[in-house]
Copies of this chain bind each other. A is one copy, B any other.
Amino acid sequence: MTKVTAQMSVSLDGCYTGPRDTHDHQDMSGWMRGPEAPGFFRVTRWAVDAMAWRERQGFAGGEQSVDSEIVAETFAAAGAYVMGRRMFDAGEVPWGDEPPFQAPVFVVTHRPREVLERAGGTSFTFVTEGVERAVELARAAAGGKDVAVAGGGELLRQVLAAGLLDQLELHIAPVLLGDGQRLFGPDLGLGAGEGVELTPVRVVETPGVTHIRYTVNGRSKLVLDDRGASGDLVASAGQ
């Protein structure tokens, strides 16, 4: 059955890039000199070393490693993608004629645009009716495989906040950035004393990164407990 999934590389302190770049760059080299790039490059480095990642970018080399298997599995599971507008804008030129998705991509945007067909099975469809509609269209296009949130972080939060996310996998890079764009924050729209509960379903550790996959259970009221004091009462009752 089709699941809605997301996966993201983050630092141990929960950042997926360095601090937000307030400039609108004309090209990648400008962005690479900005504040976001060092953190982004660091947290995603594990994937760059992976053969399966390089293959999708059209690059040779890399390592046939557990990390590479996770990249391959992630690509293979996705039958369609949803993507934020900002990520699309940043990627359109560098991805070139044959983007790495090899599946239909639904871009959430306010600007209508014709479908963009690319080589290798990738197409970009621009959805102006919001996140839920984009997920619905991706679900129909996924052919029974998963709908994957391609990014960025803002779209991931929107999908999660809308209660649409079934599975989240974080690739936790062993670095603290101190400052940067955090994957999760107050814009999840949780009330006071409320959290989003998850269940860890798989942990894979490699030297460069820890992969943790969660099932998303949804929003839940946080409850106080007795800090173990009831154990004392139970013991007393038994005496």
Residues of B contacting A62 with CB < 8 Å?
A: 228, 231
Secondary structure at the A interface, as helix, strand, loop or mixed, is mixed
Of the candidates B12, B59, B195, B230, the one whose C-beta lies within 8 Å of that of A177 is: B195
Identical copies of this chain, number? 2
CB pair A188 B178 closer than 8 Å: yes
In the complex, A13 Cα to B172 Cα: how many Å?
A: 11
CB distance from A223 to the nearest CB of B (A): 7
- Binary flags per residue of A180-219, CB closer than 8 Å to B gives 1, else 0: 0011111111101111111110010101001010100000
Residues of B contacting A177 with CB < 8 Å?
A: 190, 195
CB pair A222 B42 closer than 8 Å: yes
Assess whether A38 is interfacial by the CB under 8 Å rule.
yes
Assess whether A170 is interfacial by the CB under 8 Å rule.
yes
Assess whether A234 is interfacial by the CB under 8 Å rule.
yes
Residue of B with least CB distance to A176: B196
CB pair B195 A228 closer than 8 Å: no
In the complex, A184 Cα to B172 Cα: how many Å?
A: 15
For chain A, residues 36 to 89, give those with C-beta under 8 angstroms from any C-beta of chain B: 37-39, 41-42, 45, 48-49, 53-54, 57-62
CB pair A12 B170 closer than 8 Å: yes
In the complex, A195 Cα to B43 Cα: how many Å?
A: 11
Across the A-B interface, give the 4 residue pairs with the lowest CB-CB distance, nearest first.
Answer: A61-B231, A60-B235, A38-B222, A13-B184
Taking Cβ atoms with an 8 Å cutoff, the residues of A that contact B are 11-14, 18, 32, 35, 37-39, 41-42, 45, 48-49, 53-54, 57-62, 160, 170, 172, 174-179, 182-190, 192-200, 203, 205, 207, 210, 212, 214, 222-225, 227-232, 234-235
